[in-house]
Amino acid sequence: MRDPMADDRTLAERLLAGDKRALARGISLVEDDDPEGWALVREVYPHTGNASVVGFTGPPGAGKSTLIGALVAHQRALERTVAVLSIDPSSPFRGG
């Protein structure tokens, strides 16, 4: 009997189909500098269209989260898909 949770698609296919678990796995692979992660980036990159990447830095309390929240709300109002990846360089878990 086939496992109903099994998915025969590649990680890239799942990611491109909007699978959030595939995205999380891909991020982890890239963060870990795993060659599989960089192969995934090469496979997915041609499908990114005109995605934008924006970075914010600043000291604690400067309003980064407030600004990002407003920008996300604006983009969502335009019916755009938005993803936010937050990295804390002081994190005791992964060092950033």
CA distance 88 to 93: 10
Q: What is the pLDDT of residues 17-63, one digit of tens each?
A: 999 999 999 999 998 999 999 999 999 999 988 888 899 998 889 99
Binned at pLDDT 50, 70 and 90, residue 2 comes out as very low
pLDDT at 87 over 80: no
Q: What is the pLDDT of residues 61-80, one digit of tens each?
A: 999 999 999 999 999 999 99
Predicted confidence at residue 13, as pLDDT, reads: 96
Work out the average pLDDT over 4-21.
86
Cβ-based neighbours of 67, under 8 Å, separated by 6 or more: 56
Predicted confidence at residue 48, as pLDDT, reads: 84
Predicted confidence at residue 7, as pLDDT, reads: 74
Predicted confidence at residue 94, as pLDDT, reads: 59
Binned at pLDDT 50, 70 and 90, residue 9 comes out as very high
